[in-house]
Every structure is written in C-alpha cells, then in structure tokens.
Structure 1
C-alpha cells in the first residue's frame, strides 16, 4: 500500500512540475512574440546560415541587393550561428545611426575577445561606452592625424 502512495505522490509531483514548466514556457513565448523583428531571408543552412549565398559566384553586395528586392529594405540573415540585420534603405540606416546608435554601435561579447584581448581592451573589440570613446579620441588624435599620415607617407608609397 505504501508503494502505491509513493508512486501516486511522485506522479503528481512530476505532473505539477511539468505544468509549471509548460505555463512558464507559454508566458515567456507570449512576451517575446510581441516584439516585431524583420523577416529572415530563406535558404539558410543549419550551421553555415547564409554564408553559402554570400560566397557564391555572384558578388556579395549583388546577392544582398537581390535579397533586398525580395524581402524588403530591412531583413535578417544568419552569418554562421549569429543573426545579422541588413539595411538597404538610407532613411532606415540614418534612423539606426542617429536614434538607435547605442544599440547599433555595440559589439557582441564573446569568450575569445575577453581572454585574448585583455577583457575587451583593444579598440576593435571593446564595447561601446566611455572607454571606447576615449580610445577613439586617442587613436584619431595620435595615429590618424594629418601629421602622422604625412610622416609615414614614404612607407605607404614604397
């Protein structure tokens, strides 16, 4: 008799746990489905994404232009496992870089950049913020200034 009670108790606990997980999934899915995302271009492979389309016989910008004609001025593609947004309209691009500049300017954080680049300390891998702005000022004033470019002109010519 005790074995039957333990079996019923375990079954009811498992059923309650499964119900809570299902409820959490349904609530979480309904919150994320309200966000409007641009359409994703078709033809992506499971791991490679759309890289096979960009590396074909046609040039990448022409491939993206034909995809833009098909999917509209803003759409998403997958570069490997990562999703990228393609904008082919100048008005939308202007809005992205003026209104939503912080979201567009930031770079993704990944483990290799954290370990190999001293916790995102290098200019190309650091996320947008006060450190990046200060580093940009230093690079523009010291490395890419007119005086430095003229000083190393002979190196570029040779």
Structure 2
C-alpha cells in the first residue's frame, strides 16, 4: 500500500511543481533582463497581438500619429509592431548619433531562427549581418546583378517569363 501511494504521489508533485518552477524561472529571467538593459520608454496603448499597428493604421497618416506620440512620450520611445519592438526617434541630434556613432548596431539585422535556417546560416545577402561579408555581397550584387548592362543582357529572360505567365493565365481561363 505504501508503494502505491508513493508511485501516485510523484506525478502529482511533478504536476504541481513544474508550473511553479516555470513561473519562477520566467519571473527571474524577466527581472534580470529589465535590470541589465536600459531601454527607451514604450508608448502606451499597445494591444496584445498587434501592438501599436492600430494606431498607425487609423484615420491619420502614420507620421502624424508618431508625431503625436513623440509629443506625449518624448524624443525617443519604442513601439511594438506585432511582436517586435521598434525605436522611434524624433530628434535630429539623436538620429545623427544613431546613424553615425552607433551605425553598426543599427545597421545589422537581428539574429532570428528563420534567417539561420532559411538563409544558410545567415549567408544569403538579405539575411547577412552588417560587416565585411555583407559589404562584399552588396558590391557583387550591385555590379553583377543590378547593373544596367546586366539588366539589358537578361531582358529577354524577363520578357519570356512574363509571356509564359500570361499564356498560362489565359489557358487557365479557357479551362474554366
């Protein structure tokens, strides 16, 4: 009888202890992150999933909404765009500091799992972090892919792709 009670007590204790342990670790990590980083204040009025997108998509143009928020929250604040935070700077001196002194930290892309998985460990041009590799890839893309000479050489490929797409669309309408 004692063995039966001890066997059933272990899962019960685990079911109770696991959520408490999870909650404790979440609170400890969030407290550690808020104390270690100095961030700009976040504008109020964000909804849980969409963030501040409803404020930017209202009857006013987005720049007017952001200017109103700057009057309320200061020269530099953050907003939530879906799940990501965006820094809004409305002062030219702070913007100059962001784009000259701290340009490397602002120019780089965030490390995301999808950029590592889909972008061959961030080796593709669109996912690469700012640095020597990205500058070299930008130079190659500009000279080899996007130059006027190269675009003129590959003009027939684009024209044939458009023609084929239009023929397929026309053929699908005949089938319907």
Same fold at TM > 0.5: yes
The one-character-per-residue Cα deviations of 1:3-50 (angstroms, maximum 9, x if unpaired) are 9xx8xxx9xxx9xxxxx9999778756643343211111111101001
Structure 2 residue ranges without an equivalent (≥5): 15-20, 156-176
Q: TM-score, normalised by structure 2?
A: 0.62
Partner of 2:34 in structure 1? 33
The correspondence of residues 120-131 of structure 1 with structure 2, limited to 5 A, is 120-131=122-133
Measured at CA, do residues 22 and 121 of structure 1 come closer, stay the same or move farther in structure 2, by a change above 3 Å? closer
1:134 corresponds to which of 136, 143, 150:
136
Residue 58 (structure 2) pairs with residue 66 (structure 1): no
Measured at CA, do residues 140 and 86 of structure 1 come closer, stay the same or move farther in structure 2, by a change above 3 Å? same
Quick one: distance in 1 between partners of 2:74 and 2:26?
Answer: 32
Partner of 2:114 in structure 1? 111
Structure 1 residue ranges without an equivalent (≥5): 15-19
Structure index of larger Rg: 2
Give the aligned length.
Answer: 148
What secondary structure does 1:33 align onto? Answer: helix
Q: How much has 1:105 moved relative to structure 2?
A: 1.0
Q: TM-score, normalised by structure 1?
A: 0.68
Measured at CA, do residues 53 and 130 of structure 1 come closer, stay the same or move farther in structure 2, by a change above 3 Å? same
Quick one: distance in 2 between partners of 1:113 and 1:22?
Answer: 30
